[in-house]
Structure 1
Amino acid sequence: MAELRSWPALALSDTRRGVAFTVGRTKIVRVTGEDEVRLRLTAPAINRLQPHLRDCDQVESCADRAWVAVHVDAELDLDLLLALTSVAIKAHTP
């Protein structure tokens, strides 16, 4: 989380569900558990990345098709989370 706090495009907010990060007024990152983070990538971005995401055990679809859950268990998972957060920022920046 310290890494994400340093990104100028993201604003930290505490919600009743835990820590979240927003771009503008749009929540794009939600920490939902000790080892799970949800990212709002948007359905078009997920569709573009689908060939890569479906082979990744650390990423799973959410009921809301604009979101994915990323399971962060190791350093490489954190790298994946940061890369996908960058995609989420781009998808929500005009």
Structure 2
Amino acid sequence: MTTALRAMTQLSSWPDLAEAPPSCGTGRALRSAGAEIAHFHSDHSVDLHLTARAIRRFQDELKNSTAVRLDPDSDWVTIHLDCDSDIDLLLTLASVALQVHQEQPDPDGAKSGCCNGR
């Protein structure tokens, strides 16, 4: 089982997430009631809809992680999944993403644009 599949299996068991078609049309996605949260594009990569606000809040920590790639024009971060600690990082950041989306729901679902896997 790949790291991405293990991560998706864990996240899809969360009650606030459900599998859905990705808006970008590639791979598999998980969404909450108000927004797409994660796009799994490969066996070792996931884009997470963290939001600009959360990225700014954790920017220093995210920049220091070798598993995270930031795109300055995106509300999504890409997480490279090589090992269990990368999955743990994804789960932690997915929890943050869910909290942010629940506090400030996006009425358009995902108006912040497409994931980084464009």
Q: Which residue identity is paired with 2:13? A: S
Quote the residue 2:11 is aligned against. Answer: 4
Q: Cα distance, 1:65 vs. partner?
A: 2.0
* Structure 1, unpaired ranges of 5+: none
TM-score using structure 1 length = 0.92
TM-score using structure 2 length = 0.74
Q: Which residue identity is paired with 1:38? A: D
Deviation digits for residues 49-91 of structure 1, max 9, x if unmatched?
Answer: 0010111010011364200000000010000010010011011
Q: Cα distance, 1:14 vs. partner?
A: 3.3
Quote the residue 1:14 is aligned against. Answer: 21
Q: Could you list the runs of 4 or more consecutive aligned residues of structure 1 that deviate by over 6 angstroms after TM superposition?
A: none
Q: Cα distance, 1:18 vs. partner?
A: 1.4
State whether residues 34 and 102 of structure 2, in contact with CA within 8 Å, keep that contact through their aligned partners in structure 1.
Answer: no
Matched, 1:81 2:90: yes
- How big is the alpha-carbon RMSD for the aligned residues of Structure 1 and Structure 2? 1.3
Structure with the greater relative contact order (CA < 8 A, sep ≥ 6): 1 or 2?
2
Structure that is richer in strand per residue: 1
Quote the residue 2:50 is aligned against. Answer: 41
Q: Indicate the larger mover: 12-21 or 78-87.
A: 12-21
Aligned residues between the structures: 94
Q: Identical aligned pairs, as a percentage?
A: 38
Give SS of 1:24's match: coil
Quote the residue 1:67 is aligned against. Answer: 76
Q: Cα distance, 1:2 vs. partner?
A: 1.3
* Structure 2, unpaired ranges of 5+: 1-7, 104-118
